[in-house]
Amino acid sequence: MSEWQELTGQVEKLLPGGEALVRSEGSVFLVANAIPGDTVVIQPMDKRRGSQRAALQKILITSPVRIKAACPIADMCGGCSLQYLEPAQHAEVKSEWVLDIFRDFLESSSIWLPAIGQRQSYRRRVRWFIDEDAAGVFLGFKERASHKVIRQPYCMVVSGLLNQLRETIESAIAQDYFHQAKSVQALELSDGIHVIVEYEKTPVSLSVPCSVLNSLPVQWWFKTSSGTIPMNRPVATLHDRIALDDNEIDIRIGPDDFVQGQAEGNRQMICQVLEWGKQAKVVVDLFSGVGNLSLPFAKALGVRVIGAELNQASVQAANANAKRLGLNAKYQQVNLFETFDAEPFAGADLLILDPPRRGAKKICQMMGTLLPKKIVMINCDPASGGRDAATLYSLGYKLHTLRALDLFPYAGHVEAMGLWIR
């Protein structure tokens, strides 16, 4: 088959990430912007991440479930891969992704909780790239599988405040603020906004276009490979305020700390972990970050928390949060991707496992030594979660409850939450 030959194929289903599976002439391709039921003309491309991909050239027969995308750059931007599917169907599709991956571990007594759609939940974290076209300098998003930056004045999935901030930053760049900056990150928290301007090397001079937006303080930072440095002083300390029924907790978040990109979904995740572990007295939190999941546990239930995280800055932040809040929680730096000393973390009533996309292969292999009574495993990449689930299952853990969470409407992203009991 020639690399440049166009093929006709049928779209069978959407896969995790939002690409469609298309069969043509005995081969399988992953294609963006296609919907099940479409008959399409595709052009094969090189393999990427081990899979054969193809570009959508034409739709010969339109699927009955295809809709017009709400975003004018949906066919180019890689952020919202489900734009051509009715929003009411997003949660159903994402639930099927989770169910397919974990189906082999479900038993007749297992509880299945499908995702619930959250169409009006907006993202509070964004990264724009700086570029210039005939109309001038702009902040935009990278085109799918490309380094090209595309212009879009308004993003429908980020918060209104961040869209307003983009206008402020774009105007400042046009006035030669942030000369030679490459990109800008922003994180909207409960009491302010972190803005991180990224450079290849330390800028010669710095100034900020505003220190307040809609009555919220804006803390500006510049970031290079050497670190993240405040641009305006005094430095504002900002927090993620999490309401948990009768309790409320403020977790201090710095510019480099990880926080879930959707506030309400984060709250739902925390509430689910609390519900599954409400009888626990000792909680171990691996891949703890700044304590997003375990500090609310210590606050709401008074439990003892022992946490571990690879990133030293996150460990320091988690311990500082615990001390400020007067909670019985201690965190330490551990390389959780390699074999580590399991003794401090062994025998917990509940082990919270929230790894990055690569999963928690080494930790799952060590469960015979860690021996927690219950495990809550959260996976932002269900595929690596399925691999780790197979290890837990082989060690005698049973999947008591499986839940899918749709934290990012329109995106091809889903969170899988599992309660495992031995």
Active site residues: 380
Crossing angle of helices 90-102 and 382-394, in 10° steps, is 30
Q: What one-letter code names the amino acid at 395?
A: L
Beta bridge partners of 39: 10, 61
CA–CA distance, 21 with 12 (Å, rounded to integer): 6
Q: Please tell me the distance from the alpha carbon of residue 337 to that of residue 360, in angstroms, as a whole number.
A: 7
Tokens of 373: 């009574």
Structure tokens at 351: 């082990």
Q: Are 239 and 190 in contact (CB under 8 A)?
A: yes
Closest CA to 268 of 115, 382, 420, 161: 115
C-alpha to C-alpha distance for 231 and 219, rounded to whole angstroms: 8
Token digits of residue 18:
């939002």
DSSP H helices in 28-106: 90-102
Beta bridge partners of residue 379, listed in sequence order: 416
> Which residues face 198 on adjacent strands?
183, 223
Could you tell me if 38 and 54 are in contact, meaning their C-beta atoms sit under 8 angstroms apart? no
Give the dihedral sign, CA 163/34/43/61: negative
Instruction: Return d(Cα 37, Cα 61) in angstroms, integer.
Output: 8
| DSSP H stretches of helix in 219-349 | 263-276, 294-301, 312-325
User: Is residue 202 within 8 Å of residue 177, measured between CB atoms?
Assistant: no
CB 242 within 8 A of CB 270: yes
Rg of the chain (C-alpha set): 23
Measured CA to CA in angstroms, residue 324 lies from 312, 317, 319, 327, 328 at distances of 18, 10, 9, 8, 11
Q: Closest Cα to residue 118, out of 408, 324, 363?
A: 408
DSSP letters, 162-206, are HHHHHHHHHHHHHTTTTTT--EEEEEEETTEEEEEEE-SS--S--
Instruction: Supply 386's token pair.
Output: 């399925």
